[in-house]
Structure formats: C-alpha cells, structure tokens
Structure 1
Amino acid sequence: MPTDFKGTVLITGCSDGGAGSAMAIEFQTRGYHVFATSRRLDTMSRVGSLPNVKLLQLDITKPGEIRAAVEAVRIETGGTLDYLVDCAARNHFMPLMDENIETAKALFDTNVWGQLAMTQAFVPLLKQIKGTVVFITSLSGYLNVPYQASKRSAEIMAETMRLELAPFQVKVLSVVTGALKTNGQSHFDNWKLPEGSLYSPVEDAIRARARGQEGAPRMEASDYAKRVVSEIIRGRMGKFWYGASAGAVKFGNSYLPEWMMDSAVQIKTGLDVLGRGNK
C-alpha cells in the first residue's frame, strides 16, 4: 500500500445513503485509505468507484467474514489500522408487547455482539499504531424507543472499553447520533403490527414513526460525516453527541424531570392517544 495516505480506516455498514457511506466518502476526501464494508458489495455503489477505497464484504455476525477482513487489512497495511468505525447496525421498530424475541435477539447480535466481535478482532492492529475505535450509537437510546435498547447497550459497552483499552493507548469514542435523512426504499415500507395488537388503534401513527415520517428534524448524512470525521481525526475520546436534536435531548436527559421527557417522546407515537382513551 502507498505510504502517502494520512492513515487507514475501516468502516462497517457502508451501504448507500447511510452514515457509514458518508463517512467513507469524507475520510477518502481527506486523504485516508478506506476499507468500506457491507454485508453485500452491491450496496456500496457510491464509494466503490472512489480512489483509495477498498470494498470488503463483511457481515459482522459471521466470525469467518470478520477474520477475512482482518487478514485483508493486515496484508494491505502491514498489520496496522488507525481507525475502526463500528457503524453497521440493524434498524427495527415494534412495540415490546408485540416483539418477536428471536427477532430481538438477532438485532442484538448485530448491534451489540457484532460490534464487540469487530473490536476484539481489530484491537491487535489498532494497538500497533495507537488507533481509535468509534461506536456510532443513537439518540433514540435516551428516548425509551424499544429497538434502540441495543444501541444504548453498545454505548455502555464502549464506555467500558474506553477504560479497558486505555492502558494500551487505544482510544474509544462513542457518537450519540441524531436522526439522519435517508435515501431509497426503507425495509419499513411493509411494516405492520401483528393481528390483535394492543396498539392497533394507533397503528398509523406508529408506522409513520417507524418510517421516519413523524416530522422530527433530520440531518443530511454528509453534514453529519464532516463534523464526526473531524472529531475522530482530532483524537476525541469518550462520548460525543451530534445530529438533529442531539443537544436538546442531552440537555433534557441531564436537567429535565423524567415525566417531561416522557411526555415529549409520546407525542406522535399514538401512546398519548391510547392513554387518553383508556382513562
């Protein structure tokens, strides 16, 4: 690999239109050699033709594919990696009373245990160059949104790793991410509640929120990537809140009473409507 790069970065979850893809483009623009990964190579058309970007097929729940990615990076870099950005995640939306437990377990396999497996596998390369692990988590983990329990778990795990890896001079940063604008068809397009759900009277409101159509502000992924990549490169550690409404939610969780935050979260979910109807 040429030596005129500023550094190397592997980013998981680089499918077109998401935060991973936007960060891959931003790192590449700034002179880094990027390993962009996704479960399928054909989902990374936006970064595939860029110079200094190598595409790797990687499902972070499959140990064999993780080992193959480590070996590919080791061969190309000589055994080092500056940044590992754990961005790959599965999105999911369903009231907990209607949740399929096996589906929820699969969600945690990607959003929690897959992130841990990636970090375990790449720490030997990061240690060689005093690199950084970055966890992309979610603002919704602070808003009692069921599917984001996995992202909050990853954030707690990241804070533990920050302490465990400090003696080896490997930095850890978790980015609490606000809502981003997305492009293309959503896997929530065919979303529906199961028959007999307690929440059937407000299904339309829940469906709109699942699809990101509830009217909440959202940030362009490219704008998000510019700021987050800057923070990563300058060596930020710990926890960083960024994205639409991130500052407001951080303030609310720090200083406002729980009932006030709960009232705000219930707006446009249909839960407030159900509550009034069951008094």
Structure 2
Amino acid sequence: MTPPKTVLITGCSDDGIGYGLATTFQQQGYHVFATARNPSKMTKLQNLPNTTLLTLDVTDQSQVQAAVTAVESHTGETLDILVNNAGRNHFMPFLDEDLETTKALYEINVWGPVRVTKAFVPLLIRASGVVTFVTSIAGYVNVPFMGTYSGSKRALELMADALRLELSPFHVRVLCIVTGGVRTRGQTYFGDFKLPEDSLYKPIEGMIAAQARGEDGVGRMDLMAFCGSVVSQIVNGETGRYWEGNNAEQTKNGISAVSNPVMDDMLVRLTGLDKL
C-alpha cells in the first residue's frame, strides 16, 4: 500500500487559513503536519486521523530543526508539500511605528518562511515537492496604515518568485497564494488598538481601529471555500502566483488597469484621511 503524501503547514491555529488548509488536505488523504507556536490553539485538529501536531515558532531555529526531525522520522526523509502560512497582521501609521515592533514583524513574516523553507528543502527535493507561500493582495495596494505589513508580504513574494527559478533544476515547484479577504480570526487581535497620544492621526483613530478589526464593510470569502480552491491549485500543479479571496482578482486585474490617482483617491476616502 502506498503511504499517503505529506504536507507541513505553519500557523494552524483554530479557524485561521492554516487550520482550513490542514483540514482540507486531511480530507483529501494527506498526512498533515500541522504546526503552531502554541499547540493549545490547534484544538480543532487534535483528533483528526493522519494529523500530527507540532510546536513550531518560525522565528526559532531549534524548533524548526525539531520539526524537520519529526517529519523525517515519519516519512523517511521526504516531504511532498510545505505551506508557509504563519504570519502576523499589522496596522499602524508609518510615522507611529515602533522600530523594534516592525523588526519583530519582519522576523515572522519574512525571515520565518525563509528559515523554514531552507530547513525543509532537502526533504522537498527528494519528493520533487512543492513550496507554497501565503502572501497578500496588500503587497500590491498602498493601503494607508498597512505599509509595513504590506511591505513584508511583498518582500516575501519577490523572494519566493526568485526561489521558483532557483529550485526549478531540482524539480521543486514554488507557488504564492496572493490572498484577498478571507473570514478568519485574524481581526480579533486588534480589539485594543490604540495610536500613540502624539499621533498626527489621533482624530481618526476610531476609523483606523475599525479597519484593523475588519469593520470596514469589505466582504470576505468563506474560509473553507478559499482553502478548497487553494489546495486544488497546489495539488494540480500550479506554480508562480494564484490569486484567491475577496478582491484578489480585482487587484490582479487592476495592477495596470487602474491609474494611481484614481486608486489613491479611493483609498484616502476609505481610510478616513480625507477627514484630516
């Protein structure tokens, strides 16, 4: 009997994209290595067959190596699919950024996936596997108050696109999931959002906080519908970029079609900057 194919996914806390991808792969017969910085937040994956839960903070090299060892002991030193999903959202005006906070953000969103990918590439090469990066349409749209986050996701995508060519001689595919709006718990992190007291943007703090919490009137795609579409693309051989989620296709089509002044005017009004 042929053993099931394997997938390791980072950032699998309950009701997030990683959780949805883990569930979808498991339903399709894969053995899933679901990881999170805090395994107690993966309660909905605990009792699934063919699912191994691992502790993995993508900023911790020792935990990354421990995850590699765990996969090797189970599979005989191969891995079919790696999904770099773990990341942190972030909202803050550029002038109000704390540099140590932004360094920590890039450590998670950029260097974490680099660290994990470097560690698992030998296993992926043996399997002629796939590396997937979950990126964001934010990397293509200059949304006010999201500049630092958007920069981290675009930086990762550009690195991944170079990696796609660098791994092609070794028969490893690289795919970026350019993600639009998806209904997850991601917005719950901003319930206590506040600006510094001396912020130039204090008069519209409420509007910025509402944007961070997802209370902006923008629609979001159903999580499991998103994950079903993404998994089918990974399994069926997609490479390069796959755009999915609310406003993803519109963003893709609008990169060259929408003039900067039109887009700028819309974003200024949507984020409350016109009030200043």
**Bin of the TM-score, shorter chain as denominator length:** over 0.9
Give runs of aligned pairs for residues 29-68 of structure 1, distance below 5 A. Answer: 29-68=27-66
Shift of 1:108: 0.3
1:100 corresponds to which letter in structure 2?
D
Partner SS, residue 128 of structure 1:
helix
Q: Which residue of 2 aligns with 1:195?
A: 197
1:184, 1:256 → 2: CA distance? 28
Contact 2:110–2:155 (CA<8 Å) still a contact in 1? yes
Shift of 1:269: 0.9
Contact 1:119–1:133 (CA<8 Å) still a contact in 2? yes
Q: Which residue of 2 aligns with 1:251?
A: 253
Q: Deviations over 1:172-213 (max 9, x none)?
A: 000100011124881211110011100011111110001111
Q: Which residue of 1 aligns with 2:158?
A: 156
2:206, 2:40 → 1: CA distance? 33
Shift of 1:217: 1.0
How many pairs does the alignment contain?
272
1:267, 1:29 → 2: CA distance? 43
1:21, 1:224 → 2: CA distance? 12
1:16, 1:3 → 2: CA distance? 30
TM-score (norm 1): 0.95
Q: Which residue of 2 aligns with 1:129?
A: 127
1:153, 1:62 → 2: CA distance? 20
1:267, 1:141 → 2: CA distance? 20
1:161 corresponds to which letter in structure 2?
L
Q: Which residue of 1 aligns with 2:217?
A: 215
| 1:205–1:151 distance in 2 versus 1, CA, 3 Å | same
2:17, 2:274 → 1: CA distance? 32
Contact 1:143–1:265 (CA<8 Å) still a contact in 2? no
Give runs of aligned pairs for residues 108-187 of structure 1, distance below 5 A. Answer: 108-144=106-142, 145-146=146-147, 147-183=149-185, 186-187=188-189
Q: Deviations over 1:58-99 (max 9, x none)?
A: 000000000000000000000000000000001111011100
Contact 1:253–1:261 (CA<8 Å) still a contact in 2? no
1:267, 1:24 → 2: CA distance? 38
Q: Which residue of 1 aligns with 2:71?
A: 73
Match of 2:23 among 22, 25, 46: 25
1:85, 1:19 → 2: CA distance? 11
1:244 corresponds to which letter in structure 2?
N
Structure 1 unaligned residues grouped into runs of 5+ = 275-279
Q: Deviations over 1:121-171 (max 9, x none)?
A: 000000001000000001111111312210111111110100111111111
Partner SS, residue 167 of structure 2:
helix
Partner SS, residue 51 of structure 1:
coil
Q: Which moved more, 1:40-49 or 1:79-88?
A: 40-49
* Structural RMSD (CA): 1.2
